[in-house]
């Protein structure tokens, strides 16, 4: 596969939890110069990758390692030195900062070309007037999220557990995607013999906002490549929704979502 610039792109497979296999990375690394880029945490199922080990393997072959940490920054502890990454990208809107603002960490000895020439702004990497208010707001939001991280993680784990336990105790037939090592508050659930779009729309009528998590097109119903890679059974995969709890969600919110999902299932059973 090639991009618009003619650069060859090699995709790595994942296991049933969405994790990259170390041996697969070793096999795919070629002799020619290349950059390895792996998401720290997946946006659809929340799987957290073993980035430190993946970076080590890349550096064994003198490859540059980048991680897309947009979903993870501000939500789980991240130490670029400990991870050993050469580059890390983040977006402010994911940690309650302003939309359209983000940052790229680059190891100080890494030589990269400027994104935009013409001025000395941003250490000569991106010419143009800097959006100082947005940058300051991003820094403040990240500082606040990091300070409250442990408290938020504990709260989100509790809220997520309430939803899962309530569904299980009422015999809902579903799969939790992404394994155990996931972002706090991030749930990708696949319900047997249901349509994710229908669940999403029914919940929307109750002012509960979720996504299908499968990026389905309303006409073609194409299943996302992420869910396909997890090898979710056919009778579950189309019933996938993504529920993302935030720090402002409460146990009552989890109870409400479970209650409404169970009512939808009960209605569907009666209808059939």
Catalytic residue flag (residue 216): yes
Q: Which residues pair with 2 in a beta bridge?
A: 8
Q: Are the beta carbons of 106 and 77 closer than 8 angstroms? A: no
**262 burial type by CB count under 10 A (0-12 exposed, 13-18 middle, 19+ buried):** middle
Given the residues 216, 230, 237, 257, select the one marked as catalytic: 216
Task: Judge contact between 17 and 230, C-beta under 8 A.
Answer: yes
And the tokens for 130? 């800097």
DSSP labels, 58-69: HHHTT-EEEEE-
CA distances (Å), 103 to each of 22, 27, 77, 100, 119, in order?
28, 31, 17, 10, 18
CB 85 within 8 A of CB 65: yes
Residue bearing tokens 């409460």: 250
| Active-site amino acid positions | 216
């Amino acid at each position: 596969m090639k991009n618009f610039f003619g650069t060859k792109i090699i995709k790595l497979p994942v296991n049933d939890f969405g994790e990259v296999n170390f041996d697969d990375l070793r096999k795919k690394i070629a002799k020619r110069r290349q950059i390895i880029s792996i998401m720290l945490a997946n946006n659809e199922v929340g799987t957290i990758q073993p980035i430190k080990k993946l970076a080590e393997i890349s550096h064994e072959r003198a490859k540059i390692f980048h991680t897309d940490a947009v979903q993870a920054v501000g939500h789980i502890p991240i130490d670029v030195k400990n991870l050993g990454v050469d580059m890390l990208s983040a977006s402010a809107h994911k940690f309650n900062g302003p939309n359209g603002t983000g940052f790229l960490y680059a190891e100080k000895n890494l030589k990269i070309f400027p994104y935009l020439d013409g001025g000395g702004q941003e250490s000569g990497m991106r010419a143009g007037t800097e959006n100082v208010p947005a940058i300051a707001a991003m820094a403040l939001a990240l500082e606040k999220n990091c300070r409250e991280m442990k408290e938020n993680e504990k709260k989100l784990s509790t809220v997520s557990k309430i939803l899962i336990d309530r569904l299980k105790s009422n015999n809902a037939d579903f799969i939790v995607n992404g394994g155990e090592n996931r972002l706090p508050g991030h749930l990708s659930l696949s319900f047997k013999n249901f349509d994710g779009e229908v669940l999403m729309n029914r919940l929307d009528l109750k002012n509960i906002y979720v996504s299908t998590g499968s990026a389905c097109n309303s006409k073609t119903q194409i299943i996302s490549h992420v869910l396909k890679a997890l090898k979710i059974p056919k009778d579950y995969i189309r019933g996938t929704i993504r529920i993302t709890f935030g720090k402002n969600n409460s146990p009552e919110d989890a109870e409400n979502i479970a209650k409404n999902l169970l009512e939808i299932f009960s209605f569907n059973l009666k209808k059939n």
